[in-house]
Amino acid sequence: MPTLTLKDGTEIWYKVWGNPEGKPVTFSHGWPLNADNWDSQAYFLASQGCRVIAHDRRGHGRSSQPWEGNDLTTYADDLHQLVEHLDLHDIMMVGHSTGGGEVARYVGKYGTSRVTKAVLISAITPLMLQTESNPEGLPIGVFNSFREAMVKDRAQFFLDVPNGPFFGFNRPGAVRSEGLVQSWWLQGMMAGFKNVYDCIKAFSETDLNEDLKKMDIPVLLLHGDDDQVVPIQTSALKAIKVLPKGTLKVYPGGPHALPNISPDEVNKDLLEFLKA
């Protein structure tokens, strides 16, 4: 698969599947994963005639690991350079978790001249951190504990997360997939240590309210009401009030990893929204 060398020398790895003349759909992945976490959705939409583009964010997957630039604004700048490089227009942008924040920041900074629709899945928007103006957010101690666990034993932490809250495997009656756990661990361990460490601050402390206000295109929010990583009360239920043209679909009992746990339903929702 090809790579793109960005203006600061960072190399971004990306895949392009499907019909070269089809509707372009970009996928922005969550922390600390890479483009492969979208394979179910990318294969499905490519099989429907779309042109699918999924990249490994800087510091993640097969992209290079720069010391600096591990923030949502730079992530959006990187995505913009990829969009320009491939000369994409009439795009539907899809982002999961941190990737949802990346999409929101992209539109907030670069507008909608190339983007016609967006889908935010289990997204961090508008702000995860608890502040005076966002009392429903999560305390800073939650994110400090992530950093402490990474420094102490990243490999074990990256087993604990998928075995527990990410896929909802800690819930009674959940059907655990060893394959999903190992895939998550592998993707996480491929990422640069500092890159994913810095990204904790990026996904938890970035206020995206103003970016959401600028998303004057149809935006579909998909969120599980049992999301233990990005609780729906602090994210989608707030974002829908800010988006000018937002639609919210709640997945009853859905965990954070909707694209992995409910791929058929997510794929169906993506295709219907694409064709609407």
Rounded CA-CA distance 8/206 in Å is 22
Of the candidates 131, 275, 113, the one whose C-alpha atom is nearest the C-alpha of residue 206 is 131
Of the candidates 55, 47, 43, the one whose C-alpha atom is nearest the C-alpha of residue 81 is 55
- E strands along the chain, which residues? 3-5, 11-18, 24-28, 51-55, 91-96, 115-121, 219-224, 246-251
- Residue for token pair 């994210």: 235
Tell me how far the alpha carbon of residue 208 is from its chain's centroid: 14
**Residues designated catalytic:** 97, 227, 256
Of the candidates 82, 97, 91, 119, the one whose C-alpha atom is nearest the C-alpha of residue 33 is 97
How many Cβ atoms sit within 10 Å of the Cβ of residue 135? 8
Report DSSP letters for 110-145, one per residue.
H-SSSEEEEEEES---S--B-BTTBTTSB-HHHHHH
